[in-house]
Structure 1
Amino acid sequence: MRAMVYRGPYRIRVEDKEMPPIEHPNDAIVRVTRAAICGSDLHLYHGMMPDTRVGTTFGHEFVGVVEEVGSSVRNLSPGDRVMVPFNIFCGTCYFCARGLYSNCHNVNPNATAVGGIYGYSHTCGGYDGGQAEYVRVPFADVGPSVIPDWLDDEDAVLMTDALATGYFGAQLGDIVEGDTVAVFGAGPVGLYAAKSAWLMGAGRVLVIDHLEYRLEKARTFAQAETLNFSEYDDIVVQLKKITGHLGADVCIDAVGAEADGNLLQHVTAAKLKLQGGSPIALNWAIDSVRKGGTVSVMGAYGPMFSAVKFGDALNKGLTLRMNQTPVKRQWPRLLEHIRNGYLKPSELVTHRIPLEHIADGYHIFSAKLDGCIKPLIVPSAA
């Protein structure tokens, strides 16, 4: 098959790769029809995620058609059109039984916190991802769901991470009617979080970024007020000014450890394997939320030793809520919202890139060229 292959920071190729085999009776092989590049993939692309090994195939957002199933698979059949959550989980451990699918205890021998994630380094289990023509899906009776006939592939693929994560970020904010919600980051997850905040009763939604084309999308897609942080000496002070000098009720960090990073971060991440960026957006969220407010963290962070303002969070009496999204838990409500017309996930898609040109796609997305917000990957086998 053809697959995206990692050859080092900023170096990815499309190469011939062995077809993934059935390794366990509960595996399925899925022919990918749509995949996506996620903002968190840029941490891998930039060499800022520890133990990202040469030869790995990225991609944790994908949908496709079941080609083959293992002997114990009962819920899927060849020919089924499926969406696959980015979490790999067993469905039976202590954490899965409580709906914490992203914290599954049985799928990642390399970590005690996060479970397995497709195409996201060996710190997340070492599974190959879906930026390829075919992908092996473990625990096929547990993770994937058959896509409803009425749902388009391009809406379904965004439910496998970006939409579910944005919705979960708003959910973790414990938004109550009339709350002011500030979202840091106008990438896809931030835009979905802003849109979802309205569905949960927010009275005011603010989105903070520095790229004007993304802020324009926040205004048109999420009907949010926007702030370009590059236009202010101190974005925290500005946020306080426009919220009655109290701060927002809820702040959502949809940036994470900056996907760019500075020189020091690149050295300590790529060379010393110490961190995955810096927590500037998280510290802004801690400073910008009102006392007694809630900070929801949805951005991707690697193992890191950067200074988070935990003392400020303590002294302000903040509630900090965070996790990798348990994607499948969000699907029933999201399907309702999509079917009722409240959400149209594919409105954020700006680029559709053939798998053979995925290196160009990473460059466009990473460098924020051509108004790129969300790029989809179209395998030739689709």
Structure 2
Amino acid sequence: MLLDRSRHTAGTTTLIGVVLLALNLRAAIAALSPLLPDVQADLGLSNVTAGLLTTLPVLCFGLFAPVATLLGRWIGGRPALLAAMVGIVLGSAVRTVPGMWWMLVGTVLIGIAITIGNVLVPAVVKQDFALRQGTVTALTTAALTGGAALAAGVAAPLAQTALGWQGAQLMVGGLAVVAAVVWAPQLRHRHTTVAVPAGGPSVLTSPVTWALATIMGTQSLVYYALLAWLPALLRDGGVSAADAGLALGLFNLLGIATAVATPVLAARLIDQRRLGVAVGAVWAAGLAGLLVAPAWYLLWAAVTGLAQGAGIGLALALIVLRARNSQSARRLSGTVQFIGYLMGAAGPLLFGMLYDASAGWSVPLAALVLASVTMAAAGYRAGRDRPV
């Protein structure tokens, strides 16, 4: 009886810790966006450098995903996740030091730290919550999305106080301090897992891995492209700055609901092929709506917002569901995110290049519709009950 109660308490503590970890996996990035005008004015940054501050973290998500996988193997997932929270705190502090280079260094530190969390949180879910992996993945995905919305919402008001933009950055970074304090006791727990030889078959040999990487890549590409360009697209169509901001807010906030629902639904289904096709189809419908009926932009912002939450929720859920065990989940997560986030980092750049080349928004929007169709096809392939 006491042993069962102890295990229940440990499981609850781990769950709270995992959710707090996830809360920090976008917050420090999202908080910088509304502060960029102040940062540019204070540090004298060019538009190119300011744009780099939003692109660098996504590049880190891809480039350092294999490193995060190795770090989890070398020191263990729990210590690595604690180090990730420390990295977010340090990066947030470094970004407050005067000078452009310190801002870039701090941004890279934050990007690397978040990458560790991106890769290793699914492995912890697979290891500790095998019987509730859909529900826990839903909670972590919701925390990730909600943390970004919360940070974006409070950063500007905080910056208007005596704290300034530097203090606002530190306050958001303080969320990682809370997560680190709650997570630190996890280092005392030992968990038995199924051993997987380091020299075993590479996850790259599985077609499922490539289907998962395509889902992660296309949903990241479409999401980051729309996140970066939706306000400009709407402003060019005659929408006011306030209404364009409302549309962007809908796009971000409505994703929380589907980020919660999609992993739970995916875990209850033996076969997720129809779900994968549906997520890509909703993305395509919302983007096509912006293309052919832009006057209904709030509706399309809502549709794409629901799609983006479902997209990241499905991608993370399928990584957990398709992995055989926690070691496999760690390797699969690192590989899928390496490929996927490199594609995602290219989204805003490619969208802008297509806009410049075509002198309009039709061609870049059509390209995003095509990416969504590709996402649906990959969802059908990865949705089959076939472990990596």
TM-score (norm 2): 0.26
Higher helix share: 2
TM-score (norm 1): 0.26
Tell me: higher relative CO, structure 1 or 2? Use CA pairs within 8 A at least 6 residues apart: 2
